[in-house]
């Protein structure tokens, strides 16, 4: 624990923190924007794009997040160009989530930066911490996959449906399972 930092600074640096008034307000702001986003008509494409720009830390060109979509803060999410996320994407972005260009995210995917202490006394005191997640370029994440804190998924890789990604995955591979493991190295021809 770092007493000289604000709770927001602790969260961003991976230290134990507790929700304070500032974090609570940031989360309420995101929840309001997400609520509005999830209730637009499918034809309200421009309005949804405006809300995503207000919500996210950065968003590239031609990005689509199909509602419903849920996140904690939004401002810790950074999307590259041509990202497509299907329905029921959940991103617990207590730490930074970076998603590269040309990423496909299937339905019911969870990207979770939040963690809780192993020490039961700290959990009882409502401490938590968060670690970043990075998803490279040209990645495909299958339906129902869970991406856990402190994971990097390398460029061109495929994460199989239902996988639980607990450790980083290298580029140019197919990885599946719980826990998610590499099952095939992709050839250069398959990656281009």
List active site positions.
116
Orientation angle between helical segments 45-55 and 21-38, nearest 10 degrees = 170
CB of 156 closer than 8 Å to CB of 172: yes
Parallel, antiparallel or unpaired: strands 173-176 and 164-165: unpaired
H/E stretch holding 151 reads strand 151-153
Contacts of 12 (CB under 8 A, 6+ apart): 76, 95, 96
Token representation of residue 150: 């402190």
């Amino acid at each position: 624990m770092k007493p000289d930092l604000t709770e927001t600074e602790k969260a961003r640096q991976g230290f134990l923190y507790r929700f304070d008034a500032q974090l609570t307000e940031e989360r309420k702001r995101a929840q309001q924007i997400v609520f509005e986003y999830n209730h637009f008509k499918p034809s309200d494409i421009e309005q949804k794009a405006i809300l995503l720009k207000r919500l996210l830390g950065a968003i590239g060109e031609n990005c689509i997040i199909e509602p419903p979509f849920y996140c904690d803060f939004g401002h810790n999410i950074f999307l590259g160009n041509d990202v497509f996320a299907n329905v029921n994407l959940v991103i617990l972005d207590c730490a930074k989530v970076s998603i590269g260009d040309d990423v496909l995210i299937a339905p019911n995917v969870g990207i979770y930066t939040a963690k809780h202490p192993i020490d039961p006394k700290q959990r009882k005191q409502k401490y938590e911490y968060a670690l970043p997640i990075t998803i490279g370029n040209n990645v495909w994440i299958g339906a129902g996959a869970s991406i856990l804190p402190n994971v990097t998924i390398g460029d061109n890789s495929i994460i199989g449906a239902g996988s639980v990604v607990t450790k980083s995955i290298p580029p140019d591979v197919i990885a599946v399972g719980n826990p998610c493991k590499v099952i095939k190295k992709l050839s250069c021809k398959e990656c281009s």
